[in-house]
């Protein structure tokens, strides 16, 4: 978070109050399913052949970094969970 603060032109410790004294560290690596074309072979588990993907969920409210690798299919919602946006 320090690097993010610096990159935004803020003081290095700008976000500290959000994490000190009680911090929460969470890292989730998620593979979003591909729907528009054939699913690549490496999207399946080598152990049991199950498609590696995730169901609808909420991300952490602090910071989400996302790279779609030019695959379409990820959608987001705001307050109304029935209104999806690409």
Q: Establish if 11 belongs to a structural domain.
A: no
Mention every residue, 6+ apart, whose C-beta is less than 8 A from residue 6.
12
Mean pLDDT by 10 residues, the chain (86 residues): 91 87 73 65 82 71 71 72 75
Q: Establish if 10 belongs to a structural domain.
A: no
DSSP β-ladder status, 76-77 and 84-85: antiparallel
Helix (H) or strand (E) holding 27: none
Per-residue pLDDT, 36? 64
Q: Establish if 5 belongs to a structural domain.
A: no
The reply to whether omega before 21 is within 30° of 0 (cis) is yes
Identify the domain containing residue 82 by its residue range.
25-86
pTM of the model: 0.43
Per-residue pLDDT, 18? 82
Per-residue pLDDT, 39? 72
Domains in the chain: how many in total?
Answer: 1
Q: What is the largest CA-CA distance in the chain?
A: 48
């Amino acid at each position: 978070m320090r690097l993010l603060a610096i990159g935004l032109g803020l003081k290095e410790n700008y976000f500290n109050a959000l994490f000190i004294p009680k911090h929460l560290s969470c890292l989730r690596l998620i593979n979003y399913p591909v729907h528009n074309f054939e699913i690549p072979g490496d999207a399946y588990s080598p152990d049991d052949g199950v498609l590696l993907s995730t169901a609808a969920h909420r991300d952490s409210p602090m910071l989400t970094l996302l790279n779609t690798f030019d695959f379409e299919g990820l959608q987001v919602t705001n307050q109304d969970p029935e209104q999806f946006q690409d």
